[in-house]
Amino acid sequence: MMPAVTIDSSLRPALDDLLAKHELKLEWVADHEKIPASYWGETEAGVIGTTIYARSDTPVHSVLHTACHVLCMSEERRARLHTNCGGDDPEEEAVCYLQCLLAEQLPGYSRAQLFADMDAWGYNFILGSARAWFERGADDARRWLIQRGFINA
């Protein structure tokens, strides 16, 4: 499998803009420094409150997933958020679905690339792949997002 797409200089401004549009801040970490508050460690995005931390070798899907967790959680959880986003299974599915939608808003990236990156990273979907889940198994995630006003019916 191909390695996940990371944040090169062409994706950086678009990712900054996308997160800012959702009132999140993307804090860039120097390549040789440890990413603060990274739950998975190494190259994976970190989070404290509404700030997402990433380096140039952080996978795009990791930033999107972490950002979507922040967006989907309550204000109370967000206020004390540090490293572990937590959440229950329905929220996790909604986070995955929302990141699939946001991937389409990044010039130079795509939902198809996100699906490949999610599968390569090891996201586990009962239908066998991120694409199959999104297309045929994500009804509960869509309902969750619709009920909370993230997307329209």
Share of the chain above pLDDT 90, in %: 83
Q: Is 11 a residue whose pLDDT tops 80?
A: yes
How does pLDDT run across 49-97, given as a tens digit for each residue?
Answer: 999 999 999 999 999 999 999 999 999 999 999 999 999 999 999 999 9
Q: Is 149 a residue whose pLDDT tops 70?
A: yes
pTM for the predicted model, two decimal places? 0.93
Q: Please state, in angstroms and rounded to a whole number, the distance separating the CA atoms of residues 24 and 67.
A: 8
Per-domain residue ranges for the chain? 12-147
